[in-house]
Amino acid sequence: MTMVNEEMTDKKDNTKNKEETTDNKPDPQAPKHSLRLKLRLGPCPKLKEVRLMVIGKSKRGKSSVANTVLGEDHFSVSSSFSQNIYSGWHQLTRDGRSIDITEMPTDLSSDEAARPLITITPGPHAIILCFRCEQFFTPEDYYAYTTLKKWLGSHFSKYVILAVSGLDNIAGDGAEDMVRNSFVPILRELPSPDRFICLDNTANWDSRRQQGDKLLRLVDQVANDNGGGHFSNRKIRSFEQEMQYQLGRGKTRAEIKRRVVDGDDLEHVFAKQCSSCVVS
């Protein structure tokens, strides 16, 4: 499998210009790349158009996180263990920027993955990897991360933000730091330990929108770290090629995506175009 990402500008060392605070005593058990490294993010350019892929195993809060980012309920949230099917793509404008979100369960077959991948074309600025925090970090979570890395390609790590939902269930001083520390095994594989957010998707909308804004600032940071580029791979590029063809026939990108989500025949046109591609 080949990862292709033409737009990304590699950063040799993303942590170079960031400052370390010394307000907490060092924990000798903690890995070097730990949460004691509190980073002061400078303001970075706000993306006018944001594309996000919200990905994770079943019931990890993907739809809830997507709604928190959108600031409104659009994705359907469910606690029942019904079939884990693709539930959507939504786009809206919030605070002057267009937000395009695709939800992607991890247990889709290659055929089923077509719809979410078409709706994320030309590629996500950030990949929001969803977990729950009630049990803190588990070996299963690490397995989910490494499996995705194999599936999407190793460049995927440069775009990942960990979004851990369920903060309301572990309330208490320092809860977020404890959760964050438990995720260090994944965080140390990412370009920066800042690629993390804990969320309470049960909070009121004022609070959820603030959490959504915080997540969007992280997305701006990820895009900035990647030279303003976005993630792509062979399959997404192939879908983008078909998208360009369809755009040339006078439809808008949003119209095409909507038709694909609604199960229009157009999905088969894309699938045919990409029938020989593996995911990454």
Ligand X SMILES: Nc1nc2c(ncn2[C@@H]2O[C@H](COP(=O)(O)OP(=O)(O)OP(=O)(O)O)[C@@H](O)[C@H]2O)c(=O)[nH]1
- The residues binding ligand X (CB under 6 A) are 56, 58-64, 77-79, 84, 87, 105, 165-166, 168-169, 199-202
Instruction: List the single partner that 255 binds among Mg ion, ligand X, none, CB under 5 to 8 Å by kind.
Output: none
Q: How far is the CB of 87 from Mg ion (least distance, A)?
A: 5
Instruction: List the single partner that 79 binds among ligand X, Mg ion, none, CB under 5 to 8 Å by kind.
Output: ligand X
Instruction: List the single partner that 166 binds among Mg ion, ligand X, none, CB under 5 to 8 Å by kind.
Output: ligand X
CA distance 18 to 20: 7
Instruction: List the single partner that 275 binds among Mg ion, ligand X, none, CB under 5 to 8 Å by kind.
Output: none
CA distance 270 to 167: 39
| Closest to Mg ion by CB, 63 or 91 | 63
CB atoms within 10 A of CB 267: 17
Q: How many helices (H) and strands (E) does the chain have?
A: 9, 6
Number of Cα atoms under 13 Å in the Cβ half of residue 198: 20
| Closest to Mg ion by CB, 127 or 187 | 127
Q: How far is the CB of 167 from ligand X (least distance, A)?
A: 6
Instruction: List the single partner that 58 binds among Mg ion, ligand X, none, CB under 5 to 8 Å by kind.
Output: ligand X
Q: How many residues does the chain have?
A: 280
Q: How far is the CB of 60 from Mg ion (least distance, A)?
A: 9
Which residue is nearest to Mg ion, using beta carbons? 63
CA distance 51 to 248: 21
| Closest to ligand X by CB, 154 or 169 | 169
Q: How far is the CB of 170 from ligand X (least distance, A)?
A: 10
Instruction: List the single partner that 36 binds among Mg ion, ligand X, none, CB under 5 to 8 Å by kind.
Output: none
Contact residues for Mg ion, defined by CB under 5 A: 62-63, 87
CA distance 138 to 160: 18
The residues, ordered by sequence, that sit 6+ positions from 50 with a Cβ below 8 Å of its Cβ are 97, 98, 99, 100, 125, 126, 216, 219, 223
Chain CA centroid to CA 151, Å: 15
Which phi and psi angles does 240 have, rounded to 5°? -65, -35
